[in-house]
Amino acid sequence: MINIDNKFVTDFINDHISDIEACGTTFDYSSESSLGINGQKFLIKLQGVRRNIIYMTKEKMIKFVTDMKKEEVEKFVNDKITMNEMIKFAEEELKNDEVKNELKKEDIDKFKNGKITDENEMKEFVKNIIKINPYVLYWFAYTLYSLKKPKNVNFQKKGSDYIEFIEQLNKRYYIKISTKIQKNFEQLKEFALKKFNKIYLLNFNGVYKKIEKMFNYDTFCKERKSTSSDKIINLAYQFVKDSNLLCCPYCNRAFIETINENKIRTAELDHYFPQSIYPFFAISPWNLIPSCPKCNHVKRDPDTIKTPHLYPYELADSRALFFVPVRNDKESENNDLQFDFSNPKYFDIKIKIFQKELLNEAKNSKKIFHLEQLYQNNKKTVSIIYELLRFKGEDFLREVAQYFTHNPTKKNKIQAKLKEFINIKNEMLLPYGKDGILGKLSQDIQDYCTDPFIRIFLTYFC
């Protein structure tokens, strides 16, 4: 929601290179046969580029993940999938309009008419599908590993996470599961993991845990001796402190503070690309966003490569989302542009999207962090701002000053009081500054109430 000056991230990396790189351990994966052949290969490759991964920017992280998924899935197609499985896979994927629109019509017709009979030609057709949606196999592995048993599962209820998961296994991955196994969650998960591991020669559970040790976030957050000096360091604490943030960049409602004694920080570090999905970005500074505990918890690990939200380090200004008071008193005689917002009972706070180029990210931020719902508790703040803007005490003081043109001393005193009054009023409107707590709400409401163009645009065009 609000931007973060990203220069501190670069400075933090330069100041703590060796300590960041020391957050994790390395292994001789060639002797770890329990990880599976592909598991060993993947970890050896990951370890070879570990240093580059740690310092990747957001765009490089996205490219790395996309390339990795394409490579892993294409390797699977080349080595392990049968002709019958490829046909079933293609049939299922062609139900997706996005896939159909991207493929050549003549290739689709050839497949549907059963004219792709050569195995290599079928592999090329399947690869073209995978290039459109490179997440297929990776998501299968991640879903199996991370799925938690939903509470109060109703086995008859369509749409529950549990039923969707079973249907996904049956339809998309062609794993047939008996009714008996379906009714036991742990048996289901164990069965599916074994099936996947056997097909792909990869112990996903074991590989995931090794990645967590290679990029160890727990070490990043602990007090320990620096590798370059005798100082005791806590990188997570130092990162929050160096950010100089006054409040959470996601909600702008909670203070962020560091307390020197015992190195206490009130902020948590959110992983923009979730640690549960992308453990290899766990200690990458460009992936760490200082945030309040509430925002970090409500985020719930969406895949931000598929569902990106606003990224504070790249937000040129905070106008992607704009707070607007919207009347809920429909019986009022005043129209929307004349409405009186002095009574919180008669309006709600809505968030409109001001920058269309960030439409998707802004919508996702609004939804993921439940911003509109949270800000209904701040309607009184809006009313206070509205009343302050409506109070024209400075106009009165200017009129009084006109009567003392013949007395420069008194006129100067009145003008000094005028200046003092304006400063106090401005401080009341933005008590913690533009970047402080509720600073965005206050600034947006001021702009909405004082700038006719912004008010008309937001009321009728957003």
> Measured between alpha carbons, how far is 445 from 380 in angstroms, rounded to an integer?
12
Name the least confident of 20-34, 325-339, 430-444.
325-339
Largest distance between two CA atoms of the chain: 102
Name the least confident of 26-40, 258-272, 347-361, 370-384.
26-40
Whether the per-residue pLDDT at 306 is higher than 90: the answer is no
Share of the chain above pLDDT 70, in %: 74
Identify the residue with better confidence: 230 or 264.
Answer: 230
Share of the chain above pLDDT 90, in %: 29
pLDDT, one tens digit per residue, over 292-303 is 999 999 987 778
Whether the per-residue pLDDT at 317 is higher than 70: the answer is no
Look at residues 212, 187, 82, 68 and name the one whose alpha carbon lies nearest to residue 137: 68
pLDDT, one tens digit per residue, over 147-206 is 555 555 554 544 455 666 666 556 544 556 666 666 666 776 677 777 666 666 667 778
Confidence of residue 208 (pLDDT cuts 50, 70, 90): confident
Mean pLDDT estimate for the chain: 80
State the pairing for strand pair 347-353/321-327: antiparallel
pLDDT, one tens digit per residue, over 358-380 is 889 999 999 999 999 999 999 99
Angle at 192 between CA 190 and CA 196, to 5 degrees: 115
Return the pLDDT at 27. 80
Alpha helices in 369-438, H assignment, sequence order: 371-375, 379-390, 393-402, 408-429
Name the least confident of 96-100, 256-260, 285-289, 381-385.
96-100
Whether the per-residue pLDDT at 213 is higher than 70: the answer is yes
Angle at 345 between CA 340 and CA 350, to 5 degrees: 75
Alpha helices in 94-178, H assignment, sequence order: 97-102, 105-112, 119-132, 136-146, 161-167
Q: Which of 218-227, 263-272, 341-350 shows the highest mean pLDDT?
A: 218-227
Whether the per-residue pLDDT at 67 is higher than 90: the answer is no
Return the pLDDT at 42. 78
Give yes or no for a contact between 18 and 48, defined as CB atoms under 8 angstroms apart. no
Structure tokens at 224: 């320990």
Identify the residue with better confidence: 394 or 436.
Answer: 436
> Measured between alpha carbons, how far is 352 from 362 in angstroms, rounded to an integer?
9
Give yes or no for a contact between 242 and 235, defined as CB atoms under 8 angstroms apart. no
Enumerate residues 6+ apart whose C-beta is below 8 A from 216: 23, 24, 25, 282, 283
> Measured between alpha carbons, how far is 421 from 441 in angstroms, rounded to an integer?
22
Give yes or no for a contact between 220 and 19, defined as CB atoms under 8 angstroms apart. no
Return the pLDDT at 250. 94
> Measured between alpha carbons, how far is 184 from 435 in angstroms, rounded to an integer?
51
Return the pLDDT at 158. 47
Give yes or no for a contact between 241 and 258, defined as CB atoms under 8 angstroms apart. yes
> Measured between alpha carbons, how far is 61 from 271 in angstroms, rounded to an integer?
12
Identify the residue with better confidence: 69 or 441.
Answer: 441
Q: Which residues pair with 49 in a beta bridge?
A: none
Tokens 């050839």 identify what position?
110
